Every structure is written in C-alpha cells, then in structure tokens.
Amino acid sequence: MTKISLGLEYATISACRISLMSPELLDSVLLQTDFPELKLHASGKVRDVYTLDQDRLLFVATDRISAFDYVLATGIPHKGRVLTQISLFWFEFLRDLVPNHLLTADVSQYLAPLQQYAAQLQGRSMIVARAEMFPVECVVRGYISGSAWKEYKATGTVCGIALPKGLQESDRLPEPIFTPSTKATSGHDENISFAEMSKLVGPELSSQLRDLTLTVYKKAADYALQKGIIIADTKFEFGRTPRGITLADEVLTPDSSRFWPADKYAPGRAQESFDKQYVRDYLEQIRWNKRPPAPALPVEVARRTSEKYVEAYHQLTGLELDA
Ligand code: PZK
C-alpha cells in the first residue's frame, strides 16, 4: 500500500481512497450461498457444505470473516478463493502422506445443474468425497498460544501433557504436541486428553490420528517456515472413506490455524495474526462489546485484510491468485 503524505492534502486524499473499492470487487464478495436445487449438509461461520449424492458433497468457502467468535457484517474480497487455493496446495503437497477428500475443484467437471453457478463457484469450491467423520478435532501445536497457554499457566500441562517449566507465551515447543478436542454443545471446542479421545473413538484409531496429525503438521510447518510463515498450531478433521483414513475439510489455512509472520515473531507476548490483525485492531479501536450484532468493517480495513490473505497465498505457494 502506498503511503501518501502530503501534509494538508492528506485528509482529502485519504477520504478519496476510502471510496475506492471498485464495484467489481464489491460485487465479487460472496457472503451467502444459495443453491435451491441442493440440500445443505453443514454450514459453519465461513463455509457451507451441500449434499450432491450418497458419496459426494459440494464444499464452498464464502468470503465471510469471523473475529472474536462472530461473523462480521462485511465480507473480505478473495478470502474464499484464497482459503480454497491454500487447501488445494496442501492437499497436493501432502498427497504422499495422507489421502484427502478432494475429487475435483474444476467447475467445468461439476454436475450440469451447478453450471449456472459456475462464476460463483469458480476457485472457491470443491467436490469432495463424503467421509464418515470422526467426532474429534485433531489439533497440533508447535508453539504455545491461545487456550493451551491459558491451561499451561494454570496447571503446567496442556491436554494432560506435561510441558517444560518456564515457557513464555508463544514459545516454540521442544516438539509439536497433539491436543485433541471435541465439539462441545456450547459451540466452543473442548480440549480433551489422549485417554479421553481413546474412549470416544478407540485407542487404535486415536494413535493413528495422532501420528498422522504430527507427521502432516511437521512437514507443512517446516515448509511454511522456509517461506516466512510460522504455523503455530492447526486443526485437522479426518474421516473414513473408501481411500481409508482421509484428510477432510479445509487444511492448514489461516482460518484453521494460527499463521504468524516469522519476521515479527517474538515470544513473551501474543503474536500478531498474519491475516486478521487489522480487523482485530479496528474492533478494539471502536470498542465493540463483542456481542451481536457484529459490526461492519470500513472498506479500507476489508481491503487491507484482503491483501493479507492474497499475500499469505503468494508467500506460501509462490503463485499469484488469478484475478
Ligand atoms: C463434513 N464438516 C465440518 C462444518 C463446513 C464444514 N468430506 C466430508 N464428508 C462428510 N462430512 C464432512 C466432510 C468434509 N469436509 C465436514 N461437516 C461435515 C464443517 C460446517 C461447515 F464447511
């Protein structure tokens, strides 16, 4: 972003720039999906999943953004496409380690009734194999942050795992740890121990999921760090398909992970978010009480946030997100 500093004229120029989000860009933002021919299978804060048939689902990433647990009134241009393209990148990168649920992301191969929505779906959707999902979230942490930092400060452990004494907030852990969780009724995930996970899905599957989670995280986090992005932690969802234990949902995106810019990393405090920092700063600045209704974002905040997502994609993959 070019900083224009011309003394007296600055206020005028800055006011003009605020109105400069083009109608094309605003038009491209997708907040809601609506495919009347299809049955909604699951809908989250950001993603919508539709049933196609017995074996296949349509997975769509919208441009919605959540902050402090609520979906904001404003969408972020390109966000759904960026998150989808990041997942596609990782599916390919990880294909030798784990099967994934992707069938195709090429809209021209989608079923005929979806072709009328081709423009909307292009780049932000996938047809995926329907999996029998395991009722656990496979969380892995390479750095101590968020709920794990809170738990460690209180008890010295995280999900029943003892950690070295004297860790600071955001410290890198000696080894990544597997810290599973379950979807609690409150809507918030609840951390569980490996023993509790074993009671839920069995000890053998638990060991397989833990080993797979750690192997996949290590390979991806090592790659991302070489590209200047710390993946502090992430959450995987696995299920069973004819391919065996299958990696599903979105993978290693800024929505399912904590992405930190490596060049700003400094333990001893919370880290800046690669993607959502402008949003959080704005919401703190306007002193939103963090209760609904969630506010809208100024166009400038939405635009700068959009640039962060596109930058994350470019930094990770070396590719340009096509306009
Ligand atoms: C599935 N979710 C989580 C919730 C979302 C996603 N391949 C699959 N087979 C069966 N079920 C799922 C998947 C996947 N992926 C994932 N729910 C169901 C979820 C809300 C919105 F986009």
- d(CA 223, CA 188) in angstroms, rounded, equals 30
Q: Is 64 in the pocket of ligand 1 (CB under 6 A)?
A: no
> Beta strand 189-191 with 161-162: parallel, antiparallel or unpaired?
unpaired
Question: What's the pLDDT at 7?
Answer: 35
- CB-CB contact of 63 with 32 (8 Å): no
Q: Is 267 in the pocket of ligand 1 (CB under 6 A)?
A: no
Atom index in ligand 1 nearest the CA of residue 59 equals 22
For ligand 1, atom 15, the nearest C-alpha belongs to 249
What mean pLDDT, rounded, does the chain reach? Answer: 93
The pLDDT tens digits for 228-282 are 999 999 999 999 999 999 999 999 999 999 999 999 999 999 999 999 999 999 9
pLDDT exceeds 50 at position 75: yes
Q: Name the phi and psi angles at 276, rounded to 5.
A: -100, 5
Question: What's the pLDDT at 8?
Answer: 39
3-state secondary structure of 254: coil
User: Could you count the other beta carbons within 10 Å of the beta carbon of residue 195?
Assistant: 11
Question: What's the pLDDT at 20?
Answer: 57
pLDDT above 70 covers a percentage of the chain that reads 94
* Helix residue ranges per DSSP H, 100-226: 118-121, 146-155, 194-201, 203-226
Question: What's the pLDDT at 22?
Answer: 79
pLDDT exceeds 80 at position 16: no
Mutate to test the pocket of ligand 1, among 249, 251, 253 (most ligand atoms within 8 A of CB): 249
Question: What's the pLDDT at 220?
Answer: 99
Q: Is 248 in the pocket of ligand 1 (CB under 6 A)?
A: yes
pLDDT exceeds 90 at position 3: no
Question: What's the pLDDT at 14?
Answer: 40
- d(CA 258, CA 274) in angstroms, rounded, equals 8
The pLDDT tens digits for 113-148 are 999 999 999 999 999 999 999 999 999 999 999 999
- d(CA 297, CA 278) in angstroms, rounded, equals 10
The pLDDT tens digits for 186-221 are 778 899 999 999 999 999 999 999 999 999 999 999
